Amino acid sequence: MKEILVVDCQYDFIDGTLACGHSEEAVKNIIAFINANPDAKVYYSADNHSINHCSYAQNGGTWPVHCNAGTHGAELHASFSTDIANPSQRPNDSNIYYKGENDSVEEYSAFEARNKAGHSLNEVIGNDVIVCGIATEFCVRESVLALMKSGRKITVPADMLGWVDEAGHNKTIAELASMGVKVA
């Protein structure tokens, strides 16, 4: 069975404070892929910060305020709930894994993210994973590296990614391919 990890397809990364290139297209392509694979198991990761998070420039970090818990910017794109045909593949409390909840830790990777029940993604995801989402150079890359380090086989469909910078995206794709990631 295919397993798909959809990384951080949240409004702040699509059209908000950290809007990324190719993000709307990536969402559409991900949904089409999920609908073409109705038996695939789908997991979603989501940044979920407080206003005091260390990644924010106002707190000494790199990034503008983004994905504050409970805000529109932190929500997954609504199309995942409306346009995915199989209801079990839509975002829900058991398949959304939250990261970045510790204010003092920058957490790009979804590997240790937890769902509402407290289960860690790395405890439930399989050994052959398709990773897609936003952003290639940061959260997607770090999630792929952590999954690979744990011995999993990874496929990254390039048309199902959004990026901060297209040159950085291309460099990251080449890097991952050179490490044994299947780039589709």
Nearest to 4 by CA among 90, 132, 110, 172: 132
Q: Exposed/middle/buried for 23, CB within 10 Å: 0-12, 13-18, 19+?
A: buried
Written as tens digits, the pLDDT of the chain (184 aa) is: 799 999 999 999 999 999 999 999 999 999 999 999 999 999 999 999 999 999 999 999 999 999 999 999 999 999 999 999 999 999 999 999 999 999 999 999 999 999 999 999 999 999 999 999 999 999 999 999 999 999 999 999 999 999 999 999 999 999 999 999 999 9
pLDDT of the residue at 114 = 97
Give the side-chain half-sphere CA count within 13 A for 69.
12
pTM of the model: 0.97
| C-alpha of 79 from chain center | 15
How far is 145 from 93, CA to CA, in rounded Å?
25
What pLDDT is attached to residue 1? 74
